Amino acid sequence: MDTFKKLQEYYWPFKKYFFWSLFSLLFVTGITLVYPIVLQQTIDNVIAPGLYELIPYLAIGFILLMGIKAVAVYFQQYMGDYFGISTVYNVRNSIYKKLQRLSFHYYDNAKTGDLMSRLTADVEGFRFFLSFGFAELLRIFLLVLGSLSVMFFYSVPLALVTMAAMPFLIVVVFQFDKRVHPAFRGIRKSFGRMNTRVQENISGMNTVKSLSREDFEIGRYSVKGEDYRQNYLHTAKIWAKYFPLMEFIGNVCVVALLGFGGYLVINGELSPGELLAFFSLVWYIIGPLMNFGFVVNLFSQAKASGERLLEILESEDEILDKNPASKNEHVKGHVTFKDVTLTYVKDDDEALKKISFDAPPGKVVGLIGATGSGKTSITQLITRFYEPEEGEVLLDGKSVKDYQLQELRKHIGFVLQEPFLFSTTIKDNIAYGNPEASMEEIIDAAKRAQAHDFIMEMPKGYDTKLGERGMGLSGGQKQRISIARAILINPSILVLDDATSAVDMETEFRIQKALKEVMKDRTTFIIAHRISSLKHADEILVLEDGEIVERGKHEFLLENKGPYQRIYDIQYQDKEKILGNQQHA
């Protein structure tokens, strides 16, 4: 029960609905146990003596009793469902909040499909046990205990004979639980892996089709599907093995009841009505005990689901607010790195090594280097997406750790190399970081990002709804909307991570011209592979293997004849050769 104890904070606030459900269940169980007694009284005290005129009154009383039971069943089921649904509403919201706050380190290793499986199938598995399983467990206990009490009241010898096989049934049920729990955990894991495969395939469908790898992807999905199938077949095999055994033990009890009970009736030690009541009562015991296997199954699924939910809820928040209550009304944007070293994975190669530089407010810093050289890592440390192992990152002379996280990030505008747009309107996408912005401000930001003209060509202009991940727009259009989104939050620090990589040279020129105005009085970091995107920077940092190997202005670096000059030659001399060949032709 450790799993349920750890999740207690989510269901305990709704305990009154649970207890109302249990109270209704007590009422329902009590009425259920009256049935055999009414049957026994009808046979022995009404039909046997020939008092047939009482039968209509008994029938009316029985119907009223069933009506009362129906009302109690309604309350029991509704309150139980209310308890379960309210609980998982809290659990799902807590998990979602947790996912929003977990660091990038967590997502570096997490699988999207698996997380989706936990938020859907696992949450639902946990809910079903809360809504139904707890109450069913208590119903089984009360029904078995009540039935045994009535049976022993009628005949102790027959009750003992009938119950002789029950310990074997209980042993089988517990053996079933011992095997079915790990089996269901295997099902949950394989379902998560299968979801991950589907999610990755759909997200990368353009790549799959462009490389004609449909058959390969079908094969990979089939492997995951086969793993899921085998896990389910293993669980089905456990069910198929234990449930017939439970039924066999139950039927042995019935045979013992009919044999010995018939003998007692013949000898006048038991009335026919009592034997018939006994027959009903024994199924009130056998049925729930066999159903106990189903409840154990629900418990196993809920436990497995709860464990997977706790893996998220108990995940360590690596990036924490040192001063969560602090508010930073004004940030100038003075960024300083002091001997900063970063490692993404423990004992792995360092992504950044002893990085030091100073970027005063309004300064434009260019970052260039090969893929994996550490360009993006520098900007991710400013926003505290990751924490450095050594050194310190300062903002306006104060460690970024001393800022409240949300306030810190509100002052930093990001335009990523692969822009992400939501499946909502263009207007909402631009205003995502500043939802209070007026329509005039949204249009102004779009104009600065050279996005206004193509937006107005859309069927509904700024109210045009985009498809998933910006479907319906070109790469360049998506990036320009992303730039408008960054402009609209009016950041003190602007990060352009290859922001113009997906646009043509003419559009790039227009965007850069617009960005010159936007970058005024803002500290700007430009990450680029094209020298044309950052040659106007106040300082360019050339990175190799996580180290700054060169720094300075564009002209100085060209004269230095170092790595920057080699990059320049590769980009511009090749262009000159191409132009020369075209002219020669």
Determine how many CB atoms are found less than 10 A away from the CB of residue 99: 16
154-168, 256-270, 325-339, 392-406: range with highest mean pLDDT: 392-406
| Confidence bin at 211 (pLDDT 50/70/90) | low
Q: Label each residue of 42-102 as H, E or C.
A: HHHHHHCCCCHHHHHHHHHHHHHHHHHHHHHHHHHHHHHHHHHHHHHHHHHHHHHHHHHHC
Greater pLDDT, 513 or 201: 201
pTM comes to: 0.71
Cross-strand partners of 412: 493
The arithmetic mean of pLDDT across residues 544-567, rounded, is 89
Return the pLDDT at 187.
83
> What pLDDT is stored for residue 541 in this prediction?
93
CB 507 within 8 A of CB 356: no
Q: Hey, CA dihedral for 380, 382, 387, 391, is it positive or negative?
A: positive
Provide the percentage of residues in the chain whose pLDDT is more than 90: 12
Question: How many Å apart are CA 365 and CA 527, to the nearest integer?
Answer: 9
In this predicted structure, the answer to whether residue 291 has a pLDDT above a threshold of 80 is: no
Per-residue pLDDT, averaged over 514-528, amounts to 80
pLDDT at residue 471 is higher than 80: no
Can you tell me the mean pLDDT for 459-487? 82
β-strands 398-399, 390-395: how paired? antiparallel
Section 422-433 average pLDDT = 89
Name the band, by pLDDT with cuts 50, 70 and 90, for residue 35: confident
The larger pLDDT score, comparing residue 250 to residue 30, is at 30
Give me the helices (H) in 204-271, please: 205-210, 214-266
Tell me what pLDDT residue 219 has: 86
Query: What pLDDT sits at residue 567?
Result: 86
Neighbours of 578 (CB within 10 A): 10
Report whether CATH 2.40.50.140 matches the domain 2-313: no
Element (H, E) at 395: strand 390-395
Q: Which of 238-247, 386-395, 456-465, 551-560 has the lowest mean pLDDT?
A: 238-247
Give the angle 168-171-176 at the CA atoms, nearest 5°. Answer: 125
Q: 583: pLDDT confidence band, cut at 50, 70 and 90?
A: very low
pLDDT at res. 428: 92
**What are the residue boundaries of the structural domains of the chain, listed by start?**
2-313, 420-490
Tens digit of pLDDT for each residue in 73-114?
A: 999 889 989 998 899 889 888 888 888 888 777 877 777 767
Instruction: State the DSSP H helix or E strand holding residue 106, giving kind and residue range, or none if neither.
Output: helix 104-109
By mean pLDDT, which of 342-351, 437-446, 498-507 is the weakest? 498-507
Nearest-angstrom CA–CA distance, 438 and 431:
9
The confidence score (pLDDT) of residue 367 equals 93
Residue 218 pLDDT > 70 = yes
User: Across the chain, what does the average pLDDT equal?
Assistant: 83
DSSP string, 521-563: TSEEEEE-SSGGGTTT-SEEEEEETTEEEEEE-HHHHHHHTSH
pLDDT of 452 higher than 50: yes
pLDDT at 352: 92
Residue 165 has pLDDT above 70, yes or no: yes
pLDDT score of 126 more than 80: yes
- CATH number of this structure's domain 420-490: 3.40.50.300
Structure confidence by residue, pLDDT tens digits, 391-403 = 999 999 888 888 8
Q: What percent of the chain has pLDDT over 70?
A: 91
- CA dist 259 → 163, 268, 279 (Å): 14, 15, 12
What is residue 323's predicted lDDT score, i.e. its pLDDT? 66
Q: Which own/partner pairs from 34-38 qualify as long-range (CB within 8 Å, at least 24 positions apart)? A: 34/65, 35/280, 36/150, 36/276, 36/277, 36/278, 36/280, 36/281, 36/284, 37/150, 37/277, 38/62, 38/65
pLDDT in tens, 2-16: 888 888 888 888 889
